[in-house]
Amino acid sequence: MLDHLYIKKLAAGAGFDLCGIAPCRHLAENEERFRAWLNSGYQSSLGYMERNAEKRFDARRLVEGARTAVVCAVSYKNRVGEGYPPEHRTKVASYACTEDYHTTVRAMLAGMLDALRKVSPALRGRAFVDTAPLAEKQLAVEAGLGWIGRQSLLVTPQYGSYVLLGELILTEEADRYDTPFEGSRCGTCRSCIDNCPTGAVTAGRTIDTGRCISCRTIEREQPGETDLHGWIFGCDACQSCCPWNRRAPQHRNAAFDPVFDPLAMDAGAWLGMDEAAFEALCGRTPLTRSGLDRIRRNVRE
């Protein structure tokens, strides 16, 4: 049986700010809401969201014999997350100014899994970082880390929504599980809805990805034109306005220090960049997912 205190000690030692533990089960209500979202067509060009829905809401379908979900969160809030001046027209989402979190968080989880296997050699499990059909935000609620905000993101009382998630799905039970987070602490606040420049934040704490600037600048390109409102990669509009994010502290884990400052860069800096310069500046960041050519196109829109 897994020692919950040892798991949380490992998470803190790995550099995570939060850790919660939940039993693996079928999240039936979440799956029902997700299928309704799909039926509304809000996935737009994100066709991959339509695949493996039955796995997404039951981790036991991803890891045979799964019993326990360890959900870890790390703050990445930096000064870019406070918002840009109104005149700034080459905005980059704050998470994308750091080294690619997929690599960083996966390494943090791998260290935890190795340590757990040393004390429990029969343990099997997998680490997940936003690359498999796993309802990680819902699992985070189950593990007591926070609630789903109106902008569809996990909001934590300590760090707001500026957190990155990673999970360990393990085949042994824990000696204690955390209590799921009950309710919402958004109150009557509608800042994320009112501040989304394209109206992508919809009812039911969901996103219309066809209107979402983050999706329009990163995911498979869609037909039609959309005013990007100065965003060239991602969008923080629904986060920088959130009261929980405004009061959240800056990140503590140095692995999430920004590697470049988009506030110091204008359209000329991006348009005048060649591939070598782009690789030197952004080669370790998520911006490589779009590539320089697409970022240039976004700058010109």
Q: Which of the residues are catalytic?
A: 130
Q: Cα(27)–Cα(59) distance, rounded to whole angstroms?
A: 9
Which H or E run contains 21? strand 18-23
Burial of 11 (0-12, 13-18, 19+ CB in 10 A): buried
Q: Cα(197)–Cα(192) distance, rounded to whole angstroms?
A: 10
Question: How do beta strands 147-148 and 231-233 pair?
Answer: unpaired
> How many alpha carbons fall within 13 Å on the CB side of residue 85?
7
Count the neighbouring beta carbons within 10 Å of the beta carbon of residue 168: 26
* Residues contacting 5, CB < 8 A, separation 6+: none
What DSSP string runs through 83-146? ---TT---EE-GGGGSS-HHHHHHHHHHHHHHHHHHH-TT--EEEESSSSS--HHHHHHHTTS-
Q: Cα(86)–Cα(80) distance, rounded to whole angstroms?
A: 13
Intra-chain end-to-end CA distance of the chain, in Å: 55
Q: Which residue has the tokens 């919950």?
A: 4
